[in-house]
A = this chain, B = another copy of it.
Amino acid sequence: MTTFVGSVRIVGAGLLGTSIGLALTKQGVDVSIASRSTKSVELATNYGAGRAATDTDSPNLIVVCVPPDQTAEIVAQELRIFPQAFVTDVASVKQSILHSLETMGAPIERYVGSHPMAGRERGGALAGRADLFLGRPWIVCAHSKSLPAATKAVKDLASSLESSVVELSAKDHDRAVALVSHLPQLVASLLAGRLIESDSKDVALAGQGLRDTTRIASSDPDLWMQIFSANADQVSLALNAFAADLKEASAALNDLSKTENQATLRQVLSLGNTGVEKIPGKHGAKHSIYSQVVVMINDEPGQLAKLLTDVGEIGINLEELKLEHSPSAQIGLVELYIAPAKEQKLITELELRNWRLV
């Protein structure tokens, strides 16, 4: 982990702006926060994300964290007001913003767009977390006119927040996110939309599968209209390919008495297995960064407290803990998440203390 060198101005104090501010402030970086909403600035500064911006600030790097359809305008404005600063943004589309800035004649040498692949269901300053970007990809989109120093500043920012920097052109970025983010959003919305005409009693039968596949259908339509509008070509391509696969599956399902149709449908399921295996860290980036040690405890009062006292004595810091407790089974499983370097020590010491590891 590298510490960011320089002062940072954050424009927009929502989830991303506040999270960046929290992490940088912790490193000792001077963070100033600006927003059209004075209430947001107050919330974010009270939360520890930095100080309110003043007229005399002279930031080295400006991070624009506003909705996609305002991003180009605010980036251009910041480039104009702070002629010494590098400017980046965190919007989830990149080509259209760069094109708008070019059209406006903005001094784009000092601009390098970026996109941290991190978020939470809850938005707003108070949902901010300093570790929001930990282990997440942070895409940095240098372009033909950008200064190497501008790219370096944005990469340093991402690295200091413990993201993993991915360098892509704006075009490649937009193609990639069309597949891994915009297509899933559209499919989830369409799937959830199918529930509307249905009997509420049918929908009440929903299990975890439907909940997971439709969770992101609760996303903000305004934000997503901005994203789809700015990346329509790439989303269209991804959606058409999906539709072609769907058509084939549908035809197969229409007559499963034919062996070749059975083979087609089984192929859809098998390819689904293969596709999902391709996603790294399926259980979330955080869990793949921390090591997991699972301990089986007896269902007796005080067992978990005793385990945690032991972990404390061993001197290892718990990053996360999950207890899955079956009220009637005689055992419970405790998942401990720790830094990978501590895994072997924890295992050895817990076994010495007669804990049963799974």
- Spell out A's residues near B (CB within 8 Å): 22-23, 26, 47-48, 117-119, 128-131, 134, 136-137, 139, 166, 175-177, 179-181, 183-196, 198-219, 221, 224-225, 228-229, 232, 235-236, 238-243, 245-247, 249-250, 253-254, 256, 262, 265-266, 268-280, 282, 284, 301-302, 304-306, 308-309, 311-312, 315, 317-330
Complex Cα distance, B357 from A244, in Å, reads 51
Interfacial chain B residues near A191, Cβ < 8 Å: 183-184, 187, 242, 272, 275
Q: Is A205's CB under 8 angstroms from B193's CB? A: no
Q: Report the bound CA distance from A282 to B235 in whole Å.
A: 28
Known: A216-B209, A238-B194. A329 touches B272 (CB 8 A): no
Bound together, the chains give a CA A158 to CA B276 distance in angstroms of 34
Q: Is the CB of B189 within 8 A of A272?
A: yes
Residue of B nearest to A23 (CB): B328
Q: State the oligomeric state as a number of copies.
A: 2
Chain B residues, Cβ within 8 Å of A256: 228-229, 232
Q: What are 24 sample pairs from A and B whose C-beta atoms fall under 8 A apart? A: A119-B207, A176-B199, A176-B205, A180-B203, A184-B213, A188-B213, A190-B268, A191-B275, A193-B268, A194-B241, A194-B242, A196-B271, A210-B279, A211-B284, A215-B282, A225-B262, A229-B256, A240-B250, A301-B312, A302-B312, A305-B308, A318-B325, A319-B325, A321-B323
For A196, the chain B residues whose CB sits under 8 A away are 271, 274-275, 278
* Chain B residues in 8 Å Cβ range of A309: 302, 305
B276 touching A218, Cβ below 8 Å = yes
